[in-house]
Amino acid sequence: MNTARNDKHEEPVEFIRLPEVKKLVGLGTTKIYTMASEGLFPKQVPLGGRAVAWVKSEVLQWNNAQLAAARGQPADSSASK
């Protein structure tokens, strides 16, 4: 058993399924999976069996990066992918 203490305050990870991802980003299923496989969109996380989900904070960071690029502003350095 790992009894190491994590002193950092970490927010809980919130997983979202494909319908919510599509609603948040305005892209279709094929485009989301294609972009994820090309490294242009956050990758899904396997939950077990055939179920997958995305980390909501990563999807929102991607949204913010897209907005910054459209506005000609530098992307937030904490945004990944």
Residue 20 located in a structural domain: yes
pTM of the predicted model over 0.85? no
User: For the chain, how many structural domains are there in total?
Assistant: 1
Concatenated DSSP letters for the chain? -------S--PPP-EE-HHHHHHHH---HHHHHHHHHTTSSPPPEEEETTEEEEEHHHHHHHHHHHHHHHTT-PPPTT---
Residue 80 located in a structural domain: no
Residue 7 located in a structural domain: no
Query: Structural domain of residue 53, as residue ranges?
Result: 15-70
Structure tokens at 3: 């009894």
Residue 59 located in a structural domain: yes
pLDDT tens digits, residue range 22-49? 999 999 999 999 999 999 999 999 999 9
Cα–Cα distance, 65 to 80 (Å, whole number) = 9
Residue 19 has pLDDT above 80, yes or no: yes
Cα–Cα distance, 61 to 79 (Å, whole number) = 5
